[in-house]
Amino acid sequence: MPYEHTTDKGTYVLFTRAVELKGGRQQTIYFFTKKGNTPKSGGACELPAGKAVGINERTGLPYLKNA
């Protein structure tokens, strides 16, 4: 079951994907998309261990931070 977070602006779903950095190292990134939208790549995921959801005060959008 993918992680969903509801804010004043709507409901967002957490996605993840692996990207390759300039040095050739692989990095896993996490990002939110509005419910109903699908990104070009990546898949929905659960909230990772050791992470918590924060809300950007200026934009009202969710982001992941260390717990």
Tokens for 38, please give them: 């699908």
pLDDT of residue 50: 96
pTM, entire model:
0.91
- pLDDT confidence tier of residue 48, bands split at 50, 70 and 90: very high
Domains identified in the chain, total number? 1
Residues 7, 61: contact at Cβ < 8 Å? yes
For residue range 20-39, list pLDDT tens digits in order. Answer: 999 999 999 999 999 999 99
- pLDDT confidence tier of residue 56, bands split at 50, 70 and 90: very high
Q: Which residues form the domain of 17?
A: 4-66
Over residues 57-62, mean pLDDT: 94
pLDDT of residue 39: 95
